[in-house]
Structure 1
Amino acid sequence: MSKTILAFGDSNTFGTPPMLDRDSNNSRYEEAIRWPMVMQKYLDPYWQVIEEGLPGRTTSLADPEMGDHMNGQIGLKIALASHGPIDLLIIMLGTNDSKIQFGLAAEQIASGLASLLNIAISPDMQRKHDNFDILIITPPHVKEKNALEKIFFNAAKKTAELDKYYSKLAARYKVGKINAGDFIETSETDGVHFDPSEHKVLGKAVAKYILNNWP
């Protein structure tokens, strides 16, 4: 019997390549490069992966430029209503919350992630999917450089602190957690997105974690 994974995230789940300038944000890696599909490759055949990545998505914030739908609370409710039943929800978010325009500290970003966990563990959602597990992935920390430096001003420090708070959430909610920064780093090109090699490493690492914890 097959099992379904919903990978919910931002541009790094969508597969946006590192940006040379802000006008190049419509690009996308091929399916074979993107980490959720790499993960699919390394999982047993009965696991099916659904990609739900949206560039610009935050945990719980509307973006004044990109729109209200960047709020992950809206997106998660739609995704869980659109797909299913699922067996595992993976959430990798928090990078966009660290943008200078939002003015959030790491602990506040973690509160946004907690709001998504509350949606996911709600009785209605769990009942709809006949119960599913949750895995948090802490994104690797931002490097403030080049085309995205101004947007992510002071984000390096905030995102480097995220895993401390995400670990506390994982313990409180009794969900799985991986720190992507233990395996990969953001590109030297824009300091936010992943190079192809990092997608491969992350996909393989997440697959290994899943097979070890949900065989």
Structure 2
Amino acid sequence: MSDRVILCYGDSNTHGASAIAADGSWTRHDAATRWPMRLAAALGPGYRVIEEGLPGRTTCLDDPFEGEFLNGLRVLPAVLRSHKPVDLVVLMLGTNDLKARFSMTAADIAKGIARLITEIRRHACGPGGGDPDILVVAPPPITETGVPAPHMLGGAEKSRALAAEMAAVAAAAGTMFYDAGLVAQVDPLDGIHLDAEAHAGLAEGLARAIRDWGATR
């Protein structure tokens, strides 16, 4: 049997961006630290994990300042078709939708996730030309601190409602759901990104969920 292909589709916390320092600089965590690669190591043989994280990526919004390429909906079809057949899409987006310039509610952001679910199912990129399975991951709640704080005004309160809203969307769409906030917290330096400990916790939590999924496939 061929390896199960797991596509991790997300933003800077899937890319592995570190917290933003006071001078605006940041780095990328190494492969041994980033949660998708830690997930791959935890799952072991029989799985192939693909990192597809882009800093600044939204669910389905064009960013008027940083570019429309950050719209997760726009590039999703190409990504799916590049890697097909995909067995499972792990979808962790929503943090960038909290930016004040988008004026999105938690319910609106969850609707963005619903739109992505619909798009994933439009392209027959799963095994045998079917649909991939989908695991919706609610990102950890943010705090309004450090360099990103001015851009995230009001975002912390909204972020605390994301898990419930995304869980409801996942249930309605018949997908799996995982709350990353149960196993990972944002780095207090910038209130948005994950440190090494959070990456480890998220990888371990998702590995348990994906092993359960894999046992049924």
Is TM more than 0.5 here? yes
In structure 2, relative to structure 1, the CA distance for the partners of 1:63 and 1:123 (3 Å cut) is: closer
In structure 2, relative to structure 1, the CA distance for the partners of 1:80 and 1:184 (3 Å cut) is: same
Matches within 5 A, 1:6-85: 6-21=7-22, 23-25=24-26, 27-85=27-85
**Unpaired stretches in structure 2, ≥5 consecutive residues:** none
Worse overlay, 88-97 or 74-83: 74-83
What is the CA-CA distance between 1:64 and the residue it aligns to? 1.3
Cα shift readout 1:71-116 (whole Å, capped 9, x = no counterpart): 0101211210211211000000000000001011111111111110
Structure 2 Cα separation of the partners of residues 30 and 129 of structure 1: 34
Cα shift readout 1:21-68 (whole Å, capped 9, x = no counterpart): 36314x211111000001111103110000000000000001112110
In structure 2, relative to structure 1, the CA distance for the partners of 1:36 and 1:164 (3 Å cut) is: same
What is the CA-CA distance between 1:128 and the residue it aligns to? 7.2
What is the CA-CA distance between 1:130 and the residue it aligns to? 3.6
Matches within 5 A, 1:174-189: 174-189=174-189
Structure 1 Cα separation of the partners of residues 127 and 23 of structure 2: 42
In structure 2, relative to structure 1, the CA distance for the partners of 1:166 and 1:146 (3 Å cut) is: same
Q: TM-score, normalised by structure 2?
A: 0.94
User: Aligned residues, how many?
Assistant: 214
Structure 2 Cα separation of the partners of residues 66 and 135 of structure 1: 28
**Paired AA for residue 60 in structure 2:** S
Please name the residue that 1:207 is paired with.
207
For the 8 Å contact 2:24–2:147, the answer to whether it is kept is no
What is the CA-CA distance between 1:214 and the residue it aligns to? 2.0
Structure 1 Cα separation of the partners of residues 127 and 41 of structure 2: 29
Aligned-pair identity in percent equals 36
> Partner of 1:137: helix, strand, or coil?
strand
**Unpaired stretches in structure 1, ≥5 consecutive residues:** none
Please name the residue that 1:104 is paired with.
104
In structure 2, relative to structure 1, the CA distance for the partners of 1:173 and 1:102 (3 Å cut) is: same
In structure 2, relative to structure 1, the CA distance for the partners of 1:151 and 1:131 (3 Å cut) is: same
Please name the residue that 1:92 is paired with.
92
**Paired AA for residue 90 in structure 1:** V
Q: CA RMSD in A?
A: 1.4
Structure 2 Cα separation of the partners of residues 34 and 123 of structure 1: 28
> Partner of 1:33: helix, strand, or coil?
coil
For the 8 Å contact 2:124–2:130, the answer to whether it is kept is no
Q: TM-score, normalised by structure 1?
A: 0.95
For the 8 Å contact 1:59–1:73, the answer to whether it is kept is yes
